[in-house]
Amino acid sequence: MTHKHIWVDLVEVSPPPSPVCWACILFLVSACLLFCVIYRFLDRVEEIDKDLPPFARSPQIILFRQGVIIFFYGLSSLFVIFYLWCIRWWNGGSGYKRFDRNRRKQGLVCVFRWGVPGNDLCPLIIFLMQDIAWITIIIREGINAQHTLYLHVRGKGPVALLRTTQREEIKTKALQLYDLLQVRIIVYYDF
């Protein structure tokens, strides 16, 4: 959203597919571990093993050594799954960037993100536009191509504004910031 003196850029984070895939795989593994231990505890392994193919049959599990450890592995992986899904539901990382030129005649920049519950639930960074020294773009090419846009603020260091895999998106945002702030742009290539 832009106005004559205010520019607000909403950040909507769509989580990458890898945490969702890991959560699903981890759920299957933890369900299998808990299933194995519970049925061993109920002494029904022999009944289940008859119906399973040979590669899926479980060897005899000693309940009070291996079974307890396997049960805690399954239970702890359920907590990790819960964490991964909560991050997705909480929409962690989304927020906004607001550049206000008229604020107190000096210009004010606010960077806000939703975080995960804890000490830094909602990080909010506020600084004056005159404190912005330069804009930095770091371009990483290769298999894991990732491009990052930073604002270097005097006294606070670099503030990450955007991470993306699309080169054109980072160029567009950098040019919009340049038009608004009139500071130099530095580009680093990391191959």
pLDDT at 119: 62
Residue with tokens 């291996």: 66
pLDDT at 176: 87
Position 173, amino acid: K
Q: What residue numbers bound the domain in which 175 lies? A: 92-190
**Do 136 and 146 have their domain in common?**
yes
Q: How many domains does the chain have?
A: 2
pLDDT at 81: 86
Calculate the CA dihedral of residues 42, 47, 48, 54 and round it to 10 degrees.
Answer: 130
Residue that finishes a domain, picked among 57, 90, 123 = 90
pLDDT at 6: 78
pLDDT at 45: 53
Q: What is the CATH number of the domain that holds 160?
A: 2.30.29
Give me 45's structure tokens: 């392994």
Bridge partners, residue 145, by sequence: none
**Do 136 and 47 have their domain in common?**
no
143 vs 136, 137, 146, 152, 165, CA distance in Å? 22, 19, 9, 27, 11
pLDDT at 65: 72
Is the pTM above the cut of 0.85? no
Residue that finishes a domain, picked among 90, 120, 154 = 90
**Do 106 and 34 have their domain in common?**
no
**Do 96 and 185 have their domain in common?**
yes
Residue-wise pLDDT tens for the chain (191 aa)?
556 677 788 877 766 677 778 888 888 888 888 887 777 776 655 555 566 556 555 565 556 677 778 788 888 888 888 887 877 777 777 888 888 877 556 788 888 887 766 666 677 888 888 888 899 988 888 888 888 889 888 888 888 888 888 888 888 888 888 888 888 888 888 86
Residue with tokens 């005097």: 154
pLDDT at 107: 82
The answer to whether residue 31 sits within a structural domain is: yes
pLDDT at 4: 67
Which of the 8 DSSP states describes residue 119? T
**Do 61 and 112 have their domain in common?**
no
pLDDT at 103: 56
Residues 132 and 150: beta-carbon distance below 8 Å: no
**Do 80 and 103 have their domain in common?**
no
The answer to whether residue 10 sits within a structural domain is: no
